[in-house]
Amino acid sequence: MDLIEFGNKMKKAVLKELGEDTQVEFKTVRKNNDQELYGMLIRENQRVAVPTFYLDGYFQEYKKGTTFKQIFEKLMEIYRSTPKEDVDLSFFEVYDKVKDRICYRLINLEENREYLEDLPYVQYLNLAICFYYAFNSEALGEGSIMIHHSFMERWGVTVEELLKQAEENTCRLYPPYLESVEKLVIESLGLERLPVKNDVIPLDVLSNNKRDFGAISILYPGMLKLYAKRCGGNFFIIPSSVHEVLLMRDTGEENPENFKQMIAEVNDFHLPKEEFLSNDLYYYDSAEETVLVL
């Protein structure tokens, strides 16, 4: 069974469960790093707002041994928990009603050339800053809507205005999260301290409080300057994923090529493609207060 066959089987199960008047449609949606996901839309009674279920993850569960019945029951449970009434999205037409929740995130520029064609963005080194509306409501829950050129034109705003607004909003709505890797390991193991002397090179994790697209935290006003003061000088920025970066003080003994090899290996073998940020190593020069690509 392939993904399309899995989707058709899921459609038959949904129609049997909800009735033949229900509409089930499929669409392919382009996501970060040129990833295409296979979405299933379920519409009852001509609802305008309908949930989309991306079947790729469900299909992977199926291939790993989860029964189709278990997957279907989980999907139906999620579907029934979504709002039944249509959601009024007219507020999205007015910039003043959305501007306080316009945020930004950081993605790879080259891997997203096609994806970015329909999105306003600002190039940052070899990365791209793009924008989204962060919604949080009783009806919709918490999520995001990417800002397209059509939205920006409708609102009559420029990319520069979006950037200024997003800079103000993102660090307010999603404050930075900074913690040592050592402490995270200790907490994950439920220990008070490591059982042996820690000779590992110290690393810190920088993200946001949601640990979701938190790599953008390096652009929070004053964030890198503050860390330079904390660590006492220049430091390396290792792009762990779109969700976080690793920071390490430059002691003068590190070999940047070793870091680059580690980054490439993690990206190739351990990181889901949609979470990939960069294969490059970055460096903060505290004297110049600038970030360089090594």
* Number of folded domains that form the chain: 3
Q: Are residues 147 and 98 in the same domain?
A: yes
What's the pLDDT at 93?
A: 87
Residues of the chain with pLDDT under 70: 46-49, 83-89, 137-141, 182-201
> Rounded to 5 degrees, what are φ and ψ at 173?
-80, -35
Rounded CA separation 58/101 (Å): 31
Q: Are residues 13 and 40 in the same domain?
A: yes
Q: Are residues 38 and 122 in the same domain?
A: no
Measured in whole angstroms, how far is the alpha carbon of residue 75 from the centre of its chain?
22
Q: Are residues 217 and 289 in the same domain?
A: yes
Q: Are residues 283 and 181 in the same domain?
A: yes
Q: Are residues 66 and 108 in the same domain?
A: no
pTM above 0.85, yes or no: no
What's the pLDDT at 47?
A: 60
Angle CA 184–32–109, to nearest 5: 95
What's the pLDDT at 126?
A: 95
What is the extent of the structural domain holding 113?
A: 90-173
Q: Are residues 104 and 143 in the same domain?
A: yes
Helix, coil or strand: residue 293: strand
Q: Are residues 282 and 210 in the same domain?
A: yes
Rounded CA separation 291/294 (Å): 10
Tokens describing residue 150:
């059509």
Q: Are residues 106 and 195 in the same domain?
A: no
Angle CA 289–168–230, to nearest 5: 35
Q: Are residues 276 and 180 in the same domain?
A: yes
Q: Are residues 189 and 285 in the same domain?
A: yes
DSSP state for residue 109 in the 8-state scheme: S
